[in-house]
């Protein structure tokens, strides 16, 4: 099949926990999927942040970035994203500087505003619990970017706190979002923007707003959009719908405030039938045969004028998730990256082998 040379495909991994399995196994599955994604030709591999729930096992993307960076050599790795309101901007900058030093030229710092959890867990994550944390995300974001870029103003009270342990390497910052406000911030700061269509399927106009208001910066000369999409490919459309039922059941109950692990297909199919929910993926899912999924993702990218689609897939069976990414890569004619990543690592490898 002819390669699509204009559209990049990447992975957003939420580390889903299957019913009957464990969080530990889900984390190992994330590492396994990353090992597969690199030779398939996926451009980047992002880890999500979610706290205190049975469905997803990824509260610490920075920890998984380290593990996945260590078993890959060319693919970009990063956060999709760090939920900044929980953290000190300095600590985040230091952490991602370390990761950038370990994996030169490969680390993305995707930044989000959402809590990624419930209110009680949000409070538990706070260091000072006497009052609710202030809603100062824009100030946090500017401070974080100043640390990462080494551009704190001369009169800033934290000016001397400029040590970045991974220098001269630094992460590439992205702003993640699903609302007009995130698009405005990304445009004002001149950051690449990743929009979560799987959360808000009406985001094409928001992406257009970002492009319209974009201001060039030291980070980026022209606007850059990636769209996050839920997708699942299988050998047949019926099989894709069956596999997608697990995610549909879990998401349906999540919206009702009932958190469960990813259920097996048979259980999910019974649940959907009892609820009177017809087969299919719904408006936020692109699923079916590989060619159908390719067409859907290309249409989505065109609607957003996106250079990249970041695919999230949740199935009960990890092997079905692996197979979906394989089939999508084949449908797009993805090719493994070149040897530049290995060449960049050669000096370090030679040093390790020296007597």
Domain CATH code at residue 303:
3.20.20.30
**pLDDT per residue as tens digits for the range 49-66:** 999 889 999 999 999 999
Judge whether residue 327 has pLDDT over 90.
yes
Q: Which of 229, 138, 260, 261 is nearest to 188 (CA)?
A: 138
Flag whether 259 is in a domain.
no
Residue, of 134 and 109, whose pLDDT is higher: 109
Question: How many domains does one find in the chain?
Answer: 1
Judge whether residue 129 has pLDDT over 70.
no
How far CA 54 is from CA of 64, 125, 261, in Å, comes to 18, 18, 5
Flag whether 247 is in a domain.
no
Q: What Rg, from alpha-carbon coordinates, does the chain have?
A: 20
**pLDDT per residue as tens digits for the range 207-242:** 999 999 999 999 999 999 999 999 999 999 999 999
Given this model, what pLDDT does residue 284 score? 76
Under the banding of pLDDT at 50, 70 and 90, the label for residue 90 is very high
Per the CB < 8 A criterion, the answer to whether 8 and 225 are in contact is no
Give me the residue label for tokens 């760090």.
82
Given this model, what pLDDT does residue 16 score? 97
Given this model, what pLDDT does residue 151 score? 78
Flag whether 163 is in a domain.
yes
Flag whether 111 is in a domain.
yes
Average pLDDT along the chain = 89
Tell me which range, 82-86, 158-162, 302-306, is most confidently predicted by mean pLDDT.
Answer: 302-306
Flag whether 242 is in a domain.
no
Given this model, what pLDDT does residue 135 score? 78
Per the CB < 8 A criterion, the answer to whether 104 and 169 are in contact is yes
Q: Any idea how long the chain is?
A: 355
Under the banding of pLDDT at 50, 70 and 90, the label for residue 338 is low
Token output for 32: 């396994």
Judge whether residue 74 has pLDDT over 50.
yes
Flag whether 256 is in a domain.
no
Domain containing residue 134: 8-236+284-353
How far is CA 128 from its chain centroid?
A: 29
Q: Average pLDDT in the 259-274 region?
A: 96
Question: Which pTM value belongs to this model?
Answer: 0.90
Determine the angle formed by the axes of helices 180-189 and 204-213, rounding to 10 degrees: 20
Judge whether residue 96 has pLDDT over 70.
yes
Flag whether 245 is in a domain.
no
Report the range of poorest mean pLDDT among 19-28, 97-106, 281-290.
281-290
Phi and psi at residue 311, in whole multiples of 5°?
-100, 130
Given this model, what pLDDT does residue 350 score? 35
Omega into 190 within 30° of 0, i.e. cis?
no
Per the CB < 8 A criterion, the answer to whether 313 and 281 are in contact is no
Flag whether 176 is in a domain.
yes
Under the banding of pLDDT at 50, 70 and 90, the label for residue 148 is very high
Judge whether residue 37 has pLDDT over 70.
yes
- Residues 33 and 150: their CA atoms lie apart, in Å, by 34
């Amino acid at each position: 099949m002819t390669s699509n040379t204009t559209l990049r495909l990447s992975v957003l991994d939420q580390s889903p926990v299957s019913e009957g399995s464990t969080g530990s196994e889900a984390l190992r599955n994330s590492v396994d999927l990353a090992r597969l994604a690199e030779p398939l030709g996926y451009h980047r591999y992002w880890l999500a942040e979610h706290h205190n729930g049975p469905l997803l096992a990824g509260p610490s993307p920075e920890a998984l970035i380290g593990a996945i960076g260590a078993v890959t050599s060319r693919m970009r790795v990063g956060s999709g994203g760090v939920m900044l309101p929980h953290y000190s901007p300095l600590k985040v900058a230091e952490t991602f500087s370390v990761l950038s030093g370990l994996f030169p030229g490969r680390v993305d710092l995707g930044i989000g505003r959402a809590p990624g959890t419930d209110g009680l867990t949000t409070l538990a994550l706070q260091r000072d619990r006497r009052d609710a944390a202030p809603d100062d995300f824009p100030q946090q974001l500017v401070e974080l970017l100043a640390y990462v870029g080494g551009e704190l103003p001369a009169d800033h009270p934290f000016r001397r706190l400029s040590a970045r342990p991974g220098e001269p390497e630094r992460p590439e910052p992205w702003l993640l979002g699903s609302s007009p406000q995130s698009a405005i911030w990304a445009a004002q700061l001149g950051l690449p923007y990743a929009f979560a269509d799987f959360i808000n399927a009406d985001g094409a106009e928001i992406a257009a707003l970002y492009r319209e208001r974009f201001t060039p910066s030291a980070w980026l000369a022209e606007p850059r959009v990636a769209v996050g999409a839920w997708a699942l490919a299988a050998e047949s459309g019926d099989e894709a719908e069956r596999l997608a039922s697990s995610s549909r059941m879990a998401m349906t109950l999540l919206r009702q405030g009932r958190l469960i692990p990813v259920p097996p297909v048979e259980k999910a199919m019974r649940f959907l039938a009892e609820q009177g929910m017809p087969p299919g993926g719904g408006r936020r899912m692109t699923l079916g045969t590989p060619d159908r999924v390719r067409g859907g993702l290309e249409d989505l990218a065109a609607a957003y004028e996106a250079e990249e689609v970041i695919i999230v897939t949740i199935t009960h069976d990890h092997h079905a998730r692996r197979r979906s990414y394989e089939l999508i890569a084949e449908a797009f004619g993805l090719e493994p990256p070149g040897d530049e990543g290995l060449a960049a690592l050669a000096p370090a490898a030679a040093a390790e082998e020296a007597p």
